[in-house]
Structure 1
Amino acid sequence: MHIAILTLDGFNELDSLIALGLLNRVKRPGWRVSLACPSPRVTSMNGVSLQAQATLADAASADAVLVGSGIKTRDYAADTAFLDTLALNSSRQLIGAQCSGTLLLARLGLLDGVPACTDLITKPWVEEAGVRIVEQPLYARGNVATAGGCLASVYLAAWTIARLAGIDDAAAALHYVAPVGEKDSYVEHALTVIGPYLPTLPPQGDRR
């Protein structure tokens, strides 16, 4: 089970690294989480350089792909040559995006007719791409999920764990990282956020 976190130059550390840390709390044989980058090294919006753990081709073959945001995402979204390298397929992959990463999903045609979440800065760009934005931290339909707000990366990662490993593993991972003295309430709230978008629970309509 390979989960690739798409991490581009100018990336937001909270998106990629919170997801990386939370997803790696799952200890199952064959469970692998990696930062997939377009170059051997990428530098964050705050000057933190990271070495790539996987390529964009690796992301295309991964079981799940989470697309982080960053200050250069709009440039990437306008680069047709770059978009052509992202061979993502929601029929065989779980696909999630955070904040401006939602714009990439829109440009790839993965949000056609699907409401989405994003951050306040990216919202008008995604709307220009024809996607309706919902004012909530997480929304998912089928195998595609989007999250809005940096710290919503926790929900996106938890949704991914719940879909791939089960709700118990998601709860355990959340409990591990939750603040001491708030663990039970933190986990309960997070599961309330992701619960409507898990296939084992009753479906709910689009939240307005």
Structure 2
Amino acid sequence: MPAPTRIAILTFDGFNEIDSFVALGLLGRARAQGFAPELCGPGASARSMNGVSVQLQRPLEWANEAEVVLFGSGLYTRAIAENSALLDRLQLDPLRQLIGAQCSGALLLARLGLLGGAPACTDNSSKPFLVEAGVRVLDESFHARGPVATAGGCLAAQYLASWVMHVKLGEAAAREALRRSAPVDEQDAYVERLLSKIRPFVAA
């Protein structure tokens, strides 16, 4: 039996629930195909921007071992980006990992030097901070260059999840997994919309 695909969904205090839970829920639909998504962070638990406390499944350093690492956004991302002691615990490598971020999470990619000069997607509130960090921000919901992707807008979590599925499992398996989460009378159109958004970047 092949080894599982470990997926670290980085979740810090003040996290946006949509970012973490949508990614966790969608990627969990592919557990039968070996996906093992888990929430990880620097503490035993994290409190969301709306006051929801969750028990984290893995420590922060687990992300260094995972095959896929996804950064969500949150209330305190700018402070986290300036916390070198915290970020130094992450030793990520795009040569062996898929790495994605959405909204303010893209700022953490920039601070870790993972964008490599590529442009990024983010939300309007986070855009000034990315620009200040020297990142060219796209007015788009999803963009990837090789193994690094960014997404803008809370519900763009579905694009990151679709991208991971497509890259790791192929389009047919991604389509099947995504259909299980789609609205009942919209499956074909919903899944095709997701895949059409990320397909050009997978092909590239």
Aligned to 1:111: 115
For 1:146 and 1:6, locate their aligned partners in 2 and report how far apart those are by CA, in whole Å: 14
* 1:22 aligns to 2:26 (yes or no): yes
SS of the aligned residue for 1:181 comes to helix
Aligned to 1:197: 201
SS of the aligned residue for 1:114 comes to coil
In terms of fraction of residues, the more helix-rich structure is 2
Deviations 1:117-175 (A, max 9, x none): 00101101011111111111100001000000000000101101111111112111221
Aligned to 1:100: 104
The answer as to whether partners of 1:37 and 1:56 remain within 8 angstroms in 2 is: yes
The TM-score, its normalising length taken from structure 2, stands at: 0.95
Structure 2, unaligned runs of 5 or more: none
The answer as to whether partners of 1:116 and 1:134 remain within 8 angstroms in 2 is: yes
Q: CA deviation at 1:58?
A: 0.6
Q: CA deviation at 1:29?
A: 5.7
Which of residues 20, 33, 37 is equivalent to 1:33?
37
The TM-score, its normalising length taken from structure 1, stands at: 0.93
Aligned to 2:9: 5
In terms of fraction of residues, the more strand-rich structure is 2
Q: CA deviation at 1:30?
A: 4.1
Q: CA deviation at 1:28?
A: 3.2
- Pair 1:27–1:118, CA change in 2 (3 A): same
SS of the aligned residue for 1:26 comes to helix
- Pair 1:44–1:104, CA change in 2 (3 A): same
Structure 1, unaligned runs of 5 or more: 204-208
Which of residues 145, 150, 162 is equivalent to 2:149?
145
The answer as to whether partners of 2:166 and 2:174 remain within 8 angstroms in 1 is: yes
Q: CA deviation at 1:31?
A: 2.6
For 2:41 and 2:101, locate their aligned partners in 1 and report how far apart those are by CA, in whole Å: 15
For 2:67 and 2:83, locate their aligned partners in 1 and report how far apart those are by CA, in whole Å: 25
Identity %: 54
Aligned length: 200
For 2:153 and 2:135, locate their aligned partners in 1 and report how far apart those are by CA, in whole Å: 17
The answer as to whether partners of 2:10 and 2:41 remain within 8 angstroms in 1 is: yes
